[in-house]
Structure 1
C-alpha cells in the first residue's frame, strides 16, 4: 500500500525540504528570537512553525489549498493578513532596534512557551513562501487519494521535516559563538529584520492588488 504512494510522498517532502532550508520569513523570525531570547525560545518558535506545517499539509491532502488558490478573494484576504502580520513583526523589530529590551542571557522566560510557539504558527500559516511551496506540492497530486494511514504518515513526516529543519536553524543561530556575534550587532540585526519584514509585507500586499 505504502509503496504505491512512496514516489509522490518523497517528491512532496523533497519540495518541502527546499522550502524549509531556503531562508524566508520563518527563518528570519527564528533569527530574531534566537538573538533576543536564546535557544529554548528559538526552538519553541521552530515547533510552532512546524505545527503550522500540519495545517498546510492537511490543506494539500484535502485539496483545500488548490480550491483556495482558485478563489481570488480568499487568496487576496490571505495575502493581506500575511502582509499585515509581517508589518507587525517589522514594527516589533524596529522597536527593538531603537530601544533594545533586556536580553534573556540566562533563559529567563518573559513569554510563555505557548505564546512563543503561537507566533511561529501564525507566521507559518500566513507565510507566502511556505504557501507557495505547498501549492507546488499540491500540483504534484497523488497523496490526497491515498488511504487514511498513508495520509496520516505523510502529515507526520511533513511535521517532522519542518521541525527538524527549523530547529536546526534555531540551534545554529542560538549557538554561543553565533549568538554573541548577533548580540554585539543586535540593533543592526533587528533593523535588518525589520527592513526584511517590511519588504516582504509590501511585496505581499502589492501582489494582492494585481
Structure 2
C-alpha cells in the first residue's frame, strides 16, 4: 500500500514537473522576439505578411514598446510590443494607417491608458494635443520622421470623448485633418495562443492517460 502511494506521489511529481516544463516552453515560444531592430523587422515581415519592413521609431513605456514601421514601401503601421520576463518580446497588437489620413488608436498597460496618433504629416503640423474640454493632454512622446507623425498621449482610463487639436509651426490651431479611428488587430497572436493552449492540453491528457494505466 505504501509502495503504491509512493509510486502515485512520484508520478504526480513527474506530471507537475513536465507541466511546468511545458509552460516554460510555451512562454518562451510566445515571447520569442529578440529586442533588436533586425529581429523585430524580420518578425514583423511574417506578422504582417509584407515585404521591406523598416522600423521607423520605437518608444519604451513600462514593459511595452510602441513602434512605428512601414512595409511594402509605403504602408504605414503601428504595433505595440510587450516584454516578457525572459527579456524577449511579443506583439500585443497592431494596425495599419489609412493612406493620406491621420490615424488614431490606443493601447493600455497595467499602469495607464494611451492614445496613439500616426500618419503622414502634410508638412505644417508641429504638435497634437488632446482635450476633454477641461483638461489638456500634450503628447508624452512625439516624433516626426520621414514626413510621418507618431504621437503617444497618456489619457484617462475609459475617456472616449477626447478632441484632437492640431497646432502648426507658428503655434496656431489649424483645421483638423481627417482622422480614421481604428481598433487593434491581434489575430495572429490569438491563433498562436490557441495553438499553444491546444499543445499543452494534449500533453496533459497524454500524461494523465499514461498515469491511469499504471
TM superposition score normalised by structure 2? 0.26
Between Structure 1 and Structure 2, which shows a larger proportion of helix residues?
1
TM superposition score normalised by structure 1? 0.26
Q: Which structure has the greater CA radius of gyration?
A: 2
